[in-house]
């Protein structure tokens, strides 16, 4: 830690009292060794909305779990192709382990899917290109409110700005 920090163009804030800027160079997380899955927690109860009683009940239960998770993650109703795609990931995890390993693999696929990571909005089918639509943010007050969503604790966030034009 007693080495001088090489400044870049982006680093413009020196810390008073330090010859160099303190920084984290590496983080190592070790353990838990021989960790065990918890039997029940609040978050696991939200994921595992059903448990298969036997091998024959596994696929309907998996479809129910994946449909629930995908609907929440994709912010839209799921269709059969969504579930079939996730079932291939489930099967890959299931072949390597057990029921929960399959759900874990499918959940990883959901969380890395672009439909989860990025939120897209499509215009309705009957709207002409370039026209003002309900989904377009053309209203300056609506844009102001949406920008304040992440800044709710900002003092002046809920005061409307004066319109200059």
Amino acid 165: pLDDT: 52
Q: What is the pLDDT of residue 72?
A: 92
Per-residue pLDDT at 75:
85
Q: Residue 69's pLDDT is what? A: 95
pTM score:
0.57
pLDDT of residue 32: 82
The pLDDT value recorded for residue 53 is 87
> pLDDT value at position 126?
73
- pLDDT the model gives residue 8: 56
Please report the pLDDT score of residue 68 as a whole number. 95
pLDDT of residue 56: 80
Walking along the chain (165 residues) 10 residues at a time, the average pLDDT comes out as 55 59 75 84 92 88 96 91 96 94 95 84 67 52 55 51 54
Secondary structure (DSSP) of the chain: --S-----SS---PPTT-SS------------TT----S--HHHHHH-S---SSGGGHHHHHHHHHHHHHHHHHTS---HHHHHHHHHHHHHHHHHS-HHHHHHHHHHHHHHSHHHHS------TTS-TTS--TTS---HHHHHHHHHGGGTT-TTTTSPPPP--
What pLDDT is attached to residue 138?
47
Rg (CA), the chain: 24
């Amino acid at each position: 830690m007693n080495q001088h920090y090489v400044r870049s163009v982006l680093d413009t804030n020196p810390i008073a009292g330090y010859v160099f800027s303190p920084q984290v160079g590496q983080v190592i997380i070790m353990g838990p060794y021989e960790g065990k899955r918890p039997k029940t927690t609040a978050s696991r109860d939200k994921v595992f909305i059903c448990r298969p009683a036997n091998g024959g009940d596994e696929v309907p239960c998996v479809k129910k779990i994946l449909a629930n998770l995908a609907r929440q993650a994709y912010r839209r109703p799921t269709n059969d192709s969504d579930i079939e795609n996730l079932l291939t990931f489930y099967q890959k995890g299931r072949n390597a382990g057990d029921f929960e390993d399959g759900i874990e693999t499918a959940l990883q696929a959901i969380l890395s899917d672009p439909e989860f990571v990025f939120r897209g909005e499509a215009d309705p089918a009957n709207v002409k290109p370039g026209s003002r639509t309900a989904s377009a943010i053309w209203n300056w007050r609506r844009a102001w409110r949406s920008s304040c969503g992440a800044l709710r604790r900002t003092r002046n966030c809920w005061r409307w700005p004066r319109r200059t034009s």
